[in-house]
Amino acid sequence: MKNTITFIAAIAFLAGPLGQAVELSEKDSGKIARVVGFLLSNTHFKRTPLNDDISKAFLKKYMESLDYSRMVFLQPDYEEFEAKYGTLLDNLTKRGDVSPAFEIHKRYFTRLKTAHGWLEEIIWADIDFTVEESFIPNRTKADWPATEAEARDFWHKRIKYEVLGTRLGKRRGVEAMKAKAINGEVVKKDDGTPVKPYDIKAEKEKILRRYERFLRVRTEMDSGDVLQVYLTALSNGYDPHSDYFSPREAENFEINNIKLSLTGIGARLQWDDGYTKLVELVPGGPAIRSKKLKPGDRIVAVAQGEDGESLDVVEMELDKVVDKIRGEKGTVVRLTIIPVDAADDSETREVSLVRDKIKLTDSLAKGQVIDYPEKDGLQPRLGVIDLPQFYENCARDVSLILDRFKKEKVTGIVLDLRRNGGGLLPEAVKLAGLFIEQGPIVQVIDSRRRKQVLQDNDTKIGYDGPMIVLVGKLSASASEIVAAALQDYGRALLVGSLSTHGKGSVQTVMPLNNWVRLPDSGKLKLTVSKFYRVAGGTTQKQGVTPDLILPTPYDYMEIGEATLPNCLEADHTQKLAYRRVNRVLGHVETLVKHSKGRIKGDQDFAYILEDIETLKERLKDKSVSLSETKRLAERDEEKAKREKRKKERKSRGNAEETVFDLTIKMIKTNTKLGEEVENEEKPIRLEEDPEDGEETEEEEDQPKLDPHMRETLHILHDYIKLLNPKEQIAVKESAADPKIQ
């Protein structure tokens, strides 16, 4: 079974060596814990002292973090530790005593070995897929098993669930076996190669190997690993965004949330059944420039420098392999690989690469220019800016796109923040300032209730025309600040889901070396402030509510700040003095009316509404059937629905709009719309067959605009007409009579 989490084999070019897990003495661990407790109680926004309530939350979170599936510990374990430590962890932490961390971890490991002892017997026993029983895969909110017998039953159902999943996933193999049983024919793929029949023994072996790896990983947890889980649980007792980071995790946080310029080989890696596999080569990186690596190659060993010894990385955890590949710019790393086209796994070769700086262009701001056919004498040209996160200098990049939009005579824009989870606060303030003359953007209040107002002091406006900000349930933090500010100013119309994510808090990362004289004491990320809108409300927990709501399944999923334990509450502060521009007031009712009319007759939104009802039903009962007949029927029904939708979409005519992509590189090289950037390298990605054997749509067959974006552009077109009725009449008259100027 694949692990779909991928990593960039690169590292931010930071001072100092890469952090590695280290063995800490219990005394040193206690020193770190005492400092973490002190900083949380004195610096966290709540300013709540370590007390019995925090202690109870701490204990439960720690046990949940070790056993997130609630299948290893028993309920009596939790009750025993709750009675022993429920109101004591706060006092022990203050004294620098972390012995409960290791005592509880030892119990966890004992229970895990017991459970692992059952697995071989369970997995090799005959499994009856005709029995009607069910299993809840997500047990994060369930109780722990009351007894070992109950725990064993959960493991039996889990193994059955996973084996059944492989049977259903290997659809072609199942069908091949059926075909052979009927007439003895050999079933082949479209390319003529024989379909391998489903091998339940091989699939069971894969599942067993995965659990053996899991046990080994847990066995290899050192004191530093245990401390990270323990102190993160303590931090989460204050709020869900406070964490303790080991040195390695601190650097990963820096890379994933702040920097887009990295140093490494320029490859995306994926764990695949014990191997580290290359799934994408990034443009400009050493991997793609070497012309010796391909997506699908598997890394079996890593060596440092020209003469370093090769270290076997087969069966090694993905993050540890990434650590081996990372390094400083200009240094050499040697990879031993099994080429994707190798005849067998014994065919290997070594590739030497010099680490270099990589720009993660996938996270840069992008633009689109959308042309519509002439209608009623009008031919609107609209622009879209997709901003995945607030990275360094993103406001500058958005400004470049806006300048290009002006040259292309764009009449209205959409700022798409649906997948923007936040980033650098100063960049968010700068970006919001591109659309207003000047004024406050956000209020930040810290734990001592001191207020700081961040504002745009630049009177220059990057774009002053009609504008929509498109948001969703994944829009969080800095993206919510921008959306809220532009809504409060009346500068932009907000369109999207029922509310945004609701993360209205500020975190800082504090190196613990300032308090603990240890070489590897890690860092503490803790919440120190909250955001407040210029109008006085907060984005915390409640998010930002758009002016116009579009239906989406995300609104019914268990995502968003309000679903997280110990999240900070929503409140308000004083309203600031700012000058509204009131571009939206008075138009919302009309726009909603027109949008609802379109959605009612739109087939894609009919599918979305149907999916919402299906999701609601599934949320009522989160169990999954373990009957193969029932699951096959459900799968076939789902497949038939997808195929019907796919056929209906293909039957439609061509889209009315023409979409031109616009990248930062295109703007800097002054490339015309529709033309390719000269000598531009593109990522090389691994193309894999879908696991259930179903056909995938080619990229060119997929629509350039999703239903929500398409409807948002229709709303923008309506909005433009409402804002400039006289101009629209003039344009119509000019088109009808060339004498009118």
Residue of 259, 280, 540 whose CA lies nearest to 389: 259
Residue of 101, 102, 94, 96 whose CA lies nearest to 27: 96
pLDDT confidence of residue 88: 97
pLDDT confidence of residue 171: 54
Right CATH number for 382-602+705-741 from 3.40.50.1820, 3.30.360.10, 3.90.226.10, 3.40.50.300? 3.90.226.10
Q: Identity (one letter) of the amino acid at 356? A: D
Of 488, 520, 555, 604, the catalytic one is 488
| Domain ranges within the chain, ordered by starting residue | 49-237, 382-602+705-741
- Torsion sign over Cα 268, 271, 276, 278: negative
pLDDT confidence of residue 168: 82
Q: Give the C-alpha separation, 282 to 684, whole Å.
A: 7
Looking at the chain, how many residues does it have? Answer: 741
* H, E, C per residue of 604-669: HHHHHHHHHHHHHHHHHCCCEECCHHHHHHHHHHHHHHHHHHHHHHHHCCCCCCEEEEECHHHHHC
Residue written as token pair 């199942």:
174
Sorted by sequence, the CB contacts under 8 Å of residue 516 that are 6+ apart come out as 28, 31, 32, 35
Question: What percentage of the chain's residues is helix, strand, coil (to nearest 5)?
Answer: 40, 20, 40
Q: Give the C-alpha separation, 606 to 185, whole Å.
A: 42
Q: Give the C-alpha separation, 271 to 278, whole Å.
A: 9
Structure tokens that stand for 49 in this block? 């002292």
- Torsion sign over Cα 207, 209, 212, 217: negative
pLDDT confidence of residue 687: 65
Sorted by sequence, the CB contacts under 8 Å of residue 490 that are 6+ apart come out as 580, 581, 582, 583, 584, 585
Low-confidence stretches of the chain (pLDDT < 50) are: 1-21, 172-174, 176-177, 179-184, 191, 258-261, 690-694, 696, 699, 727-741
Q: What are the φ and ψ backbone dihedral angles of 215, each rounded to 5 degrees?
A: -65, -40
Q: Give the C-alpha separation, 384 to 454, whole Å.
A: 27
Of 503, 523, 525, 541, the catalytic one is 503
272 near 295, Cβ under 8 Å? no
143 is catalytic: no
59 near 86, Cβ under 8 Å? yes
Backbone conformation region of residue 184, classed left if phi is above 0, alpha if psi is from -120 to 50, else beta: left
296 near 277, Cβ under 8 Å? yes
488 is catalytic: yes
Helices and strands, number each (H, E), in the chain: 21, 23
101 near 61, Cβ under 8 Å? no
Burial class from Cβ neighbours inside 10 Å (0-12, 13-18, 19+) for residue 281 reads: buried
Residue written as token pair 């909005």:
719
Backbone conformation region of residue 572, classed left if phi is above 0, alpha if psi is from -120 to 50, else beta: beta
Secondary structure (DSSP) of 195-219: PPPP-HHHHHHHHHHHHHHHHHHHH
pLDDT confidence of residue 248: 64
261 is catalytic: no
The string of pLDDT tens digits covering residues 23-51 is 788 999 999 999 999 999 999 999 999 99
Packed helices 603-620 and 707-723: angle between N→C axes, nearest 10 degrees: 120
411 near 465, Cβ under 8 Å? yes
Residue of 402, 431, 546 whose CA lies nearest to 487: 546
Q: Give the C-alpha separation, 479 to 431, whole Å.
A: 10
Q: How far is CA 138 from CA 4, 62, 339, 400, 719, in A?
A: 18, 18, 37, 45, 44
Q: What are the φ and ψ backbone dihedral angles of 593, each rounded to 5 degrees?
A: -60, -50
Q: Is the pTM of this model over 0.75?
A: yes
Structure tokens that stand for 725 in this block? 């009725």
Rg of the chain (C-alpha set) = 28
382 near 437, Cβ under 8 Å? no
pLDDT confidence of residue 463: 97
